[in-house]
Amino acid sequence: MSDVSGLGPINPHDKKLYEQEYKQSADLFKRALDQYTKSQNPYQREEFKDVMDRAMQILNETARGLMRSELEKQNEEISKDYSVFQKSPENSDAAQKLGQDLDNAKKSV
């Protein structure tokens, strides 16, 4: 996908690709989160954390590519709740809130 930041409106085909990539990244993040919370293996957990970090990066890039401030705000909420989750991954409320944010993000596209 090309970088369209600052180049004005994106064409409908690229917009659809960005939206699809955003939804897939939110879904991937949520699946990695679910597996992270189920795993007791520290090596697996580290791999799931890497997946979540990369998915968060893609969510931010695609929101900027779509030039939609509401998605960027949604990503800020995800990022904030992800930080809370990282500080206390055993807190099921933090994981649940993060999962809810990801579901909302998929619906908002």
Beta strands (DSSP E) in the chain are none
Count structural domains, the chain.
Answer: 1
In a domain, 3, yes or no: no
In tens, the pLDDT along 44-60 reads 999 999 999 999 999 99
Domain-embedded: residue 6: no
pTM of the model: 0.86
Residues 6+ away with beta carbon under 8 Å from 39: 45, 48
User: Is 85 within 8 Å of 91 (Cβ atoms)?
Assistant: yes
Q: Which domain holds residue 16?
A: 12-108
The mean pLDDT of the chain is 90
Domain assignment of residue 22, yes or no: yes
The answer to the question of residue 54 being in a domain is yes
Length of the chain: 109
- Residue 15, classified by CB atoms within 10 Å of its CB into exposed (0-12), middle (13-18) or buried (19+), is middle
